[in-house]
Amino acid sequence: MPMEAESKPSLKLMIVDDSNIIRRRIERSQQIDRLEVVGAASNGREAVELFRRTQPDVVTMDLTMPEMDGVECVQKLVAINPGVLILVVSALADKATAVDAIEKGANGFLCKPFTDRQLNDALEELLSEA
């Protein structure tokens, strides 16, 4: 009996960054077939509202943002949906910041600047947890 390829369900991606260039870059560069971008937010407050509306499965999250920073936003998103997968994408390169973000509920950390390959590898690793 022939084996059928197991198809994985598509997942919704939300991008959070105060830089329009980075938001567009992540949307353009991510090459993972089963990820569908459902929205982008430029600060933590917008992200929480968008998260409630679009219910994404995966989020890329900047840390240094106006109004509400990324760490606070991670905590709020995890409180709404503990199953969400969050990849922090930040220039803050010290180990303590990465550890803090993970402790608050993020699942991975990618340091800016990044190549397309580094972004896709980080997303693949994140999705391996799904």
Partner 1 sequence: MLKEAEIRTFIDGTTNYFEIAAQQAATVGSPYLVTDGNPGAYEYTGVISISGARSGIVYFTAPRGMLTVLLMRMQETDTSDENIKDLVGEVANTISGNARRDFGKNFHISVPVVHDTEKVAAPHSRSYVIPINWRTHSAKLVVCLE
**Binding residues for partner 1 (CB under 8 A):** 18-22, 24-25, 28, 64-66, 90-94, 96-97, 111-115
Task: Tell the smallest beta-carbon distance from residue 70 to partner 1 (Å).
Answer: 11
Task: Tell the smallest beta-carbon distance from residue 96 to partner 1 (Å).
Answer: 4
- Of residues 87, 80, 66, 74, the one with CA closest to residue 129: 87
Task: Tell the smallest beta-carbon distance from residue 118 to partner 1 (Å).
Answer: 8
Q: Of 1 and 21, which has the nearer Cβ to partner 1?
A: 21
Q: Of 5 and 96, which has the nearer Cβ to partner 1?
A: 96
Q: Of 11 and 102, which has the nearer Cβ to partner 1?
A: 102
